[in-house]
Structure 1
């Protein structure tokens, strides 16, 4: 097929649908993400295949596989959409505004940090539309593999040359108990002593649970008395209710520690430390807004570190009211 014919038959909508199917490796997940029916997605892909003169996907059982033509088109589509995004940014600069979207996913422990970044970023770039999805580690890894988000914010980034990451802040995990717990009066308590109590933990796949289980395995300590709870807040409330003890990110309990509602417990091997990082897959070409956000985070890391290293206190005002622009 000659280039003019191809240019006349391709549409941005087809490329958008293709990119979503390619990234999510599923027609149904792509349909959900785009707000379309699965037959509509299938029709767009068929039209695109007819325009290209090559098949793009095939099923092996229930698994969707990208064919060589799809890999070639994906590389071109990333470049095309990247250029369109840069054009949008250039036009926004001419207007004196920066517009676009920033889609983030963050593991649940990072929810204590990410809103502070987003508030500062929005103060500088109020016309950028922000979306944040909070999930556990297993879900974050799944979203990262499927390239669903512009950035994923997580700790313990997998060793993978295809992942690009930037550390932003230490995630320090500490044992916590309720005030008056007998372990606070014990002489040199150990992880084994800690594990004799009911240990409140998140579901399998949680980053904090994984870090605790790794340390317990290294020290040969069995976590036989575990009570599983679905959120960090439930774990925190469970400790305050004297249901059990737990290991939690220090930032998740800093207010309760300050108020005397929880008490930190000194144990060998703690605190556990892993850095929260911004992560994206090399094949998900960063948009200009993503690049802008990453640059903004780098520029404000010192401010972020200083705030969370100090005693709990409000951040200095960024001078922007948390109200949408009501100008007609």
Structure 2
């Protein structure tokens, strides 16, 4: 039988809730123990004490797989809310002291991984007491995380069109046609875009921002979008071009080193470079934390400097 609230408060600890929250995240006692610096028996003991206080199991094994029970799911919602409130309190107390301190949770689509370090470089120099947690995901996962309100901000190109989201562009994403340096197309005086598209085009999976931008451009120019091979990341596509598998349209930042080394070359094609914007995106109903607001202000105030820092001579 569950304890009364007064007795429950005397038997629960934040450590138990932290352990529970971590096990929920990993669905593994051993991985939770590794993250928390505890032994697996210690994690199991904390969970048992929590279950005794609640009077219900919060986890169960089916075969060898750990699952969260219905009571555990409800507790996870409550714990998430408690920890979010405590985090906001910590930030607000720091703000009262004239400081910006706390956690900044970011997610970025894979192509934005070349941009985010430049954003963080100056921001963390200005706010050294901020802890940044960054997840690199594909566009579909980034959109899902927005729906679930998992992050403070998502950095992505071509955000979903929705009145439920607030999106602010801050930097051009310059995409260029690239080939290996021995590709026969480089020997032609002029290459038309359709010839390039027919030259074994390597492309991302459906739904990715890079692919979507190229598909839209082909529609506008009334060209046939003719993919030869789908690969799961821009890095894989770049190496595919280097291996001679075909040609590609890639963010300039992702191939800048290979262009300088002479391993890849950019074709002079009509209509290129394609320019889309990197955007900071978050749910419109979200109330920014002090750290999140500081990061938004930093992006807005340094857009011009950021373009020079990121691209420099490359533009």
TM-score, structure 2 as length reference? 0.70
* Residue-by-residue CA offset, 1:189-227 (whole Å, 9 max, x unaligned): 223x01222111222222111222233344234335x24
Aligned to 1:112: 114
Partner of 2:281: 279
CA distance in 1 between counterparts of 2:113 and 2:177 reads 19
> Is structure 2 residue 238 aligned with structure 1 residue 228?
no
CA contact (8 A) 1:175 1:267 kept: no
Match in the other structure for 2:266: 263
Report the alpha carbon displacement of residue 99 of structure 1 after superposing the two structures with TM: 2.1
Q: Decide whether aligned partners of structure 1 residues 240 and 267 sit closer, same or farther in structure 2, where only a CA change above 3 A counts.
A: farther
SS at match of 1:219: coil
Cα distance between partner residues in 2 of 1:155 and 1:249: 11
Partner of 2:158: 156
CA distance in 1, matches of 2:232, 2:281: 27
Deviations 1:220-256 (A, max 9, x none): 34335x2434442x21122122221000011111222
Q: 1:146 aligns with which of 140, 145, 148?
A: 148
Aligned to 1:288: 290
Contact 2:201 2:226 in 1 (8 A): no
* Cα separation, partners in 2 of 1:266 and 1:85, compared to 1, 3 Å: same
Mapped partners of 1:86, 1:131: distance in 2: 16
Tell me if structure 2 keeps the 8 A contact 1:200–1:229: no
Structure 1 residue aligned with 2:193: 190
Alignment of 1:163-174 (within 5 A): 163-174=165-176
Distance between the aligned counterparts of 2:181 and 2:268, measured in 1?
A: 10
Structure 1 portions without partners, runs of 5+: 1-10, 17-30, 32-76, 313-328
Preserved contact between residue 176 and residue 265 of structure 1 (Cα < 8 Å)? no
Q: How far apart are the structure 1 equivalents of 2:95 and 2:289? A: 15
Inter-partner Cα distance in structure 1 for 2:144 and 2:285: 15
Q: State the distance in 1 between where 2:292 and 2:130 align.
A: 11
Q: Report the CA distance shift for 1:78/1:228 in structure 2 as closer, same or farther (over 3 A).
A: closer
Deviations 1:156-195 (A, max 9, x none): 112111101111101111111112422222424223x012
Verify: 1:201 aligned to 2:179, yes or no.
no
Where do 1:90-129 residues align within 5 Å?
90-93=92-95, 97-129=99-131
What is the deviation of 1:80? 9.1
Partner Cα distance (2:95, 2:233) in 1 = 44
SS where residue 157 of structure 1 aligns? Answer: coil
Q: d(CA) in 1 for partners of 2:276 and 2:147?
A: 21
What is the root-mean-square deviation of aligned Cα atoms in Å?
4.8
For 1:301 and 1:215, the matched residues in 2 are separated by: 26
Q: Per the alignment, do residues 120 and 166 of structure 1 end up closer, same or farther by CA in structure 2, a change over 3 Å counting?
A: same
Taking the aligned partners of 1:180 and 1:290, their CA distance within structure 2 comes to 47
Would you say the 8 A contact 2:234–2:250 is kept in 1? Answer: no
**Within 1, Cα distance between the matches of 2:306 and 2:273?**
20
Tell me how far apart the structure 1 counterparts of residues 162 and 295 of structure 2 sit (CA, whole Å): 23
Deviation at 1:12, TM superposition (A): 9.8
Does structure 2 retain, via aligned residues, the 8 Å contact 1:154–1:277? Answer: yes
Q: Distance in 1 between matches of 2:116 and 2:290?
A: 20
> Would you say the 8 A contact 1:156–1:275 is kept in 2?
yes
Separation in 2, partners of 1:101, 1:254: 32
Structure 2 unaligned blocks of 5 or more? 1-12, 19-31, 33-78
Q: Distance in 1 between matches of 2:89 and 2:95?
A: 10
In the alignment, what sits opposite 2:56? none
How many equivalent pairs are there?
307
How many angstroms does 1:78 deviate by?
11
1:300 to 289, 302, 311: 302
